[in-house]
Amino acid sequence: MENNAYIERIHRYLAGRMNDAEKVEFEQEMSNNGELAEAVKTEEKLLLGLTLVGDEALKKVIANTDERLAGQQFFKKGKIISLSSSSNSFIMKKMLSIAAAAVVLFGLVWWGFFRQGPATPNADQLFADNFKPETAKSTAIADALANSGMVDSMDTQDSLREALVLYNKGQYKDACVALDTFLVYHPTNDTAQFYLGMSHLNDSRYARAIEVLEPITVSETSPFKLDAMWYLGLCYFKVDGGFAKAEEIFTQLASNPESKDQQSAKGILHLIGH
């Protein structure tokens, strides 16, 4: 388990999915451990080949390589075993020979790649790897509305809270009905607008989610602006012709230190060769 966790750590670093503290800690480990830094470079090359070729058989080759290394204790918690020993040198040679065999096996695919240009990354996979329903804020908002005690606006707060409760339960169609009704009477409420867009997104109505979320992303006052940008970018991965727009949005997020998704946006841009 420790070995698999260590490999996963390397993958998370390369994909830009570590938070700032984790990234600093991991990079410090690499600066103090040349073997770890070399392992990261090797894994990056393997993953780059996987991204460019995008073949299921090659995925299995690389996954099996990681499993064999983990099974032979190549990775250890907190560090990489030195490659100077004959046994570990043999392991590394075996890994490289497997990688070389994969390159030969998929030579025709690589040849086609260089003739036709880089293959477009799988947008569906990018979405699946990065989408996670937002529930932490919606739960906190619903709880706050329930405990506010403002009698004059109780009906308004109750209707919004009930809509958010439906959203948190995963009842997205019912949440859409409740939020649409609420917005008829409160059209400028960005909380309701954001979670209406999220309800459509969670229910795979991506085009409709884009229509609802996009106005929030251009607001200069909404606290949901950056979150809306992140989910809007993911939505564009799921609609025809939306890849360039998604890349544009993630470029903006990657350059914005106020976004909690800055590192994840950088990871996406790295994977699509931006």
Question: What are 233-258's pLDDT values in tens digits?
Answer: 999 999 999 999 999 999 999 999 99
Q: Are residues 108 and 141 in the same domain?
A: no
Q: Are residues 175 and 228 in the same domain?
A: yes
Q: Are residues 144 and 70 in the same domain?
A: no
**Domain-terminating residue out of 99, 118, 137:** 118
DSSP-assigned letters across all residues of the chain:
-HHHHHHHHHHHHHTT-S-HHHHHHHHHHHHH-HHHHHHHHHHHHHHHHHHHH--HHHHHHHHHHHHHHHHTT-EETTEE--TTSHHHHHHHHHHHHHHHHHHHHTHHHHHHHHHH-PPPP-HHHHHHHH-----HHHHHHHHHHHH---GGGHHHHHHHHHHHHHHHTT-HHHHHHHHHHHHHH-TT-HHHHHHHHHHHHHTT-HHHHHHHHHHHHT-SS-TTHHHHHHHHHHHHHTSTT-HHHHHHHHHHHHT-TT-TTHHHHHHHHHHTT-
Residue 155 has pLDDT above 80, yes or no: no
Q: Are residues 146 and 92 in the same domain?
A: no
Q: Are residues 136 and 225 in the same domain?
A: yes
- Highest-confidence range of 7-11, 28-32, 121-125, 181-185, by mean pLDDT? 181-185
Q: What is the pTM (predicted TM-score) of this model?
A: 0.57
Angstrom distance (rounded) from CA 12 to CA 20: 12
Angstrom distance (rounded) from CA 199 to CA 181: 14
Residue 80 has pLDDT above 50, yes or no: no
Q: Is residue 17 part of a domain?
A: yes
Contact 47, 11 (CB under 8 A): yes
Q: For position 155, which CATH number holds?
A: 1.25.40.10
Residue 198 has pLDDT above 70, yes or no: yes
**Domain-terminating residue out of 53, 84, 118:** 118
> What are residue 20's phi and psi, to 5 degrees?
-60, -40
Residue 64: predicted pLDDT? 62
Q: Are residues 142 and 208 in the same domain?
A: yes
In 3D space, the residue among 196, 144, 202 whose CA is nearest the CA of residue 170 turns out to be 202
Range of the domain at 108: 2-118
Q: Is residue 124 part of a domain?
A: no
Q: Is residue 257 part of a domain?
A: yes
Q: Is residue 175 part of a domain?
A: yes
Residue 26: predicted pLDDT? 87
Give every CB contact of residue 266 below 8 A, 6+ residues apart in sequence.
Answer: 16, 254
Quickly tell me which residue has 């409760």 as its tokens.
Answer: 165
Q: Are residues 11 and 113 in the same domain?
A: yes
- Give the rounded percent of residues in the chain with a pLDDT score beyond 70: 66
Q: Are residues 10 and 105 in the same domain?
A: yes
Based on the structure, what is the number of domains in the chain?
2
Q: Is residue 66 part of a domain?
A: yes
Min mean pLDDT across 58-62, 130-134, 229-233, 269-273 is at 58-62
Q: Is residue 123 part of a domain?
A: no
Mean pLDDT, residues 55-63 taken together:
55
**Domain-terminating residue out of 57, 88, 118:** 118
Residue 83: predicted pLDDT? 42
Q: Are residues 75 and 149 in the same domain?
A: no
Q: Are residues 136 and 78 in the same domain?
A: no
Q: Are residues 66 and 172 in the same domain?
A: no
Q: Are residues 10 and 43 in the same domain?
A: yes
Under the banding of pLDDT at 50, 70 and 90, the label for residue 60 is low
